[in-house]
Amino acid sequence: MIQLKFTLNGDRVETWVKGQEMLLDILRDNFNLPGTREGCGLGECGACTVLVNGASVNSCLFPALEVEGKIVETIESLADAGKFHPLQQAFLDNGASQCGFCTPGMIMSAKAFIDSYPGRPAAVSEAEIKQALAGNLCRCTGYFQIIAAVKAAMQEQD
C-alpha cells in the first residue's frame, strides 16, 4: 500500500492505495462518495467523470496515485449548505435528469467546460456544449434537455 495525499472537495485528505487502484475506486470505497458512478469502466460513458485540477477526467481509468498533491472535485462538492449549484438547479428545472445515472458525470463535465469557457457564457452555442459533453453518454434524455440545462446555467452566469 502507498500513502496518498491530495485535496478532495476542499479538504486535505490522506489515504492508502494499492498501486494499480483507480481514482473511481478510492472515491467510492475509501471516501464513501458514491455520487461518482461506474458505468462502462472502460473510458467510454463518462459516468465516472470528476475534476482533477479543474479538468474533467474519467476516474475509472485515472490512476489514483496521479492525484498526489492535486485538487479533486466530485459531484458531492457542488451543493453549498443545502443549496444546489446553478448547474444542478438547471438540470432539475429542465428535466435533464431522468434515471440520473449519467447526471453526476454530465454535470462535472459541464462544470469543467463552463469554468474554462473563454467568452461570454450567454453566447455559448449548442455545438460547443455538444462537443464539451461528447464523452458523456445518456440513455434516457436524448440530450436535448441536458443541452438546454447547460445553456440555461451559462446564461444565468452572464
34 vs 41 by CB, closer to ligand FES: 41
Q: Does 120 bind ligand FES (CB under 6 A)?
A: no
43 vs 121 by CB, closer to ligand FES: 43
- Residue pair 156/86 in contact by the 8 Å Cβ criterion: yes
Please state, in angstroms and rounded to a whole number, the distance separating the CA atoms of residues 83 and 69: 29
7 vs 98 by CB, closer to ligand FES: 98
Which strands, in side-by-side order, build the sheet including 71-73? 11-17, 2-8, 71-73, 49-52, 55-58
Binding string, residues 20-49; x marks residues near ligand FES by CB under 6 A: ------------------xxxx-xxxxxx-
Binding site for ligand FES (CB under 6 A): 38-41, 43-48, 58, 60, 97-103, 138-141
